[in-house]
Amino acid sequence: MLREAASNILQFHNFLKSGVDVRISDYPLMGEPVKMTCILIGYVILAVYTGPRLMAGRKPMRLNTAMIIYNLSMVLLNAFIVYEFLMSGWATTFTWRCDLIDTSTTPQGLRMVRVAWLFYISKFIELMDTAFFVLRKKQSQITFLHVFHHSFMPWTWWWGITGTPGGGMGSFHAMVNSAVHVIMYFYYGLSAAGPRFQKFLWWKKYMTAIQLTQFVLVSVHISQYYFMEKCDYQNRLWIALIWMYGVFFFILFSNFWLQAYIKGKRLPVSEDKPKQNGSTSEPITVVANGKHVENGNGHHYTNGKLLLGKVKEI
């Protein structure tokens, strides 16, 4: 029984490996799904169970310098990803309608393969967002939604780009998401730099609007597929998944916008939850009343000054 089960699992594993596009099969974490799945399972365990317990008897770490370097590095990485997507087709040969997967080995086709993989890898780097929360003992930020998105997004992207690394219309959402991450991580970098930079963060309230615009663009663009008379895109399941992502996160952020800006509600710092994907950072205004308090970036305010607590998004 066990031998037969093991044989079936091995056959299924080999079947998955055989379906990986040969142009991307030798890239790290791409040849088969086991390694990347184990990494993401380990991430979930560390984020939810092991990490918080290891930090339980320790003081929260102040990681401002590391956070500044990390956030600004992510700005540069995502800006490069956007540029590569543009040069791989979106600013050169694509029609922005029924753009099919490029299965060739031309320089442009291989360039799209490389940037699709780089976007995929960037989602593993973004797991550092959670690591900073754990080390700074901001466990209230690590919600089910946060962990689900950070683990499920790279997992689904493996299945998407192993069969569609040539991009086409299915890569539009990745380019838009990376563009939003440029803005998001730039905001986080300034926020982590200290209170002297708070005056440059006046545009924080527009972050949610940027997110809503992202999801509208992604949903409208991918919805074209269902209204075209003929579009032989090679991976219909990938199209459906992208559409579901766009609609789900639009609903999520619309609710946040309603609660934060229409009804004017603000959650207490201890109850504030991170929103989803590529997201916004909504500071909470709290009066310190002369007490020594710490904001979301690890900065301290006293003597009744205002505390701007950063809500980190995923």
Distance CA 118, CA 112 (A): 10
Answer whether 43's CB lies under 8 Å from 276's CB: no
Q: List the one residue out of 207, 184, 198, 197 whose CA is nearest residue 261.
A: 207
What's the first-to-final CA gap in the chain, in angstroms? 43
Catalytic residue among 146, 149, 150, 181: 149
Q: Is 149 a catalytic residue?
A: yes
Q: For residue 294, with 0-12 CB atoms within 10 Å meaning exposed, 13-18 middle and 19 or more buried, which class applies?
A: middle
Which position has the token pair 């090679």? 234
Residues 6+ apart with CB under 8 A from 79: 178, 182
- Rounded to whole angstroms, how far apart are CA atoms 235 and 76? 31
In the DSSP assignment, the letter for residue 5 is H
Q: Which residues are catalytic?
A: 149
